[in-house]
Chains A and B, each alone.
Chain A
Amino acid sequence: MKPVIDVWSTPFWDAAREGRLLVQRCTDTGQCFFPPAPVSPFTGRPHTEWVESSGRGELFSFVVFHQKYFPGFPTPYPVVMVKLDEGPMLLTNLRGAEASALKIGQRMHVVFDPDVDGITLPQFEIAA
């Protein structure tokens, strides 16, 4: 599956190709948000900037797909919900471990999947 890339998310995907995880920050409140948007959801104003995330966060929840919806995803596969230390939630893939190793609350960090068709997908593994 190719990601949906629009005018607001282009900087995110460009940075991912360089191995950096970007999120937007509301310059009025200092709060970060994702997915990208023309305005801050905290104020509705276009006072935003891109900042580099630490790439670290906490496992909020996870699921394991058995139903096949996408040809490119052999089942079963997990999807993890990671709360970045900067605040935003990401729904992303687990790398380097089986779903049976997951425990809600455990620390996670970003890794970058090698380019496929020019897209680098930020994914997460369990922090050592």
Chain B
Amino acid sequence: MNIHDSHPLRDKAAFAGIGTSAFGNFPANDSYGLGCEALNMALDDAGLRPGDIDGLIVNRIPSYERFAEMMGINPQYCLLTETPGRFSGVSLSLAMQAVATGAAKTVALVYGNNGRSKRVNYGGGDSQWSAWGMTSPGASHAMMWRRHMHDYGTTHADLGWVAEAFRHHACLNPDAVMHGRPITRDDHATARPICEPLKLLDYCLINDGAVAWIITSAERARDMRRPPVLISGYARQDNFTYGSAPPTDYWQGAFAKVQSEIYSRAGIGRDELSGLGIYDNFSPTVLFSLEGMGFCPHGEGGNFVKDGTLRLGTGRLPTNTSGGHLSDSYMQGWGIIAECVRQLRGDCGARQIPNAETMQYICGTNIALSAIFRRG
């Protein structure tokens, strides 16, 4: 390969360890305790100790300093990233850049969330539109989905294919919050409305839990306990909608830029992917992401997911094999990326994608981003 064809960050950083805490309702714990649990699992996974960590990124844990002192980590690179779920992917890119530039050699990234036991419902409070009763990310997505149905003739029933596939995956995943609770597309159609046109099974879960990743250089990762998973490519385009109104283009403008860069940066084509991890805060986001990344034309997301395209075993693009935010755990992208790593290590048991070689993560938000991972 001509060296000039290769993006400078391609395959330079790798996952050396991952850890996920138990998921559920833990009023006797908090984001620090859950974060420590996940990080210890990730350290054990990599065969490292806290003293080996010289970079630390924490998310949804209130204080990076308190977390670092608890774990006895005194890094040379340390920060807290913003709380929205788009920052899982952003944090990933910061770690890649830190490793590539030498700002840190081994970065621990720790996400902890105890929103379930604190009864967070992600709505209410003062905002630009609260005087008119407009609040919550779910309502914003409901607004987008209503318009998508108008523009393209999609239906609420199309979303049932997404919810049913991810619940099927959760039922194959003993760690998923919704393990053992299968649903049908009819259940999806008849669930109680939350913010119409969206209903309960279009919404992500809210649960407590934590996720940790350890990212280091591909070279160092090869000397660690588990086979490395390489970060082959990353691309991002922001599109901040004026006045915090729901975007009117389903992020297609931003996604077009991401799509134009991600596959060439990774050196991996769309047709070479073994599976996907899609940020499924709400079921429509999955369709917007598939359309945005060019898996199907704009407006065709509903037809694309029909007949189980995203479902393990029957579909050609197994997606969110852990169950995703809808049915595994609401870890705001952190858990979905950890699942991509597990797939590429072959650790997924009953929900394993056979011979998984490459996985793509896609996050449709006002920060539209994607990453491609491959087996090292």
Contact = CB atoms under 8 A, between A and B. Distances in A.
B146 A70 contact: no
B135 A81 contact: no
B139 A4 contact: no
Contacts of A93: 132-133
A3 interface: yes
A41 B130 contact: no
Contacts of A73: 133
A69 B124 contact: yes
A3 B131 contact: yes
A23 to B, nearest CB: 11
B133 A35 contact: no
Nearest to B248: A60
A112 interface: no
Sort chain A's interface into a size bin.
20 to 34
A80 B29 CA distance: 40
Interface string B122-165: 01101111111111101100111011001000000000000000
Nearest to A4: B126
A69 B130 CA distance: 10
Interface of A: 1-4, 33-35, 41, 60-67, 69-70, 73, 76-77, 79, 81, 88-89, 91-93, 99, 104-105, 119, 121, 123
Given A63-B197, A67-B121, A81-B245, 4 more contacts: A33-B243, A79-B143, A91-B245, A119-B131
15 contacts: A4-B126, A64-B195, A65-B133, A66-B195, A67-B195, A79-B129, A79-B133, A81-B143, A88-B243, A89-B242, A89-B243, A91-B134, A104-B146, A121-B132, A123-B132
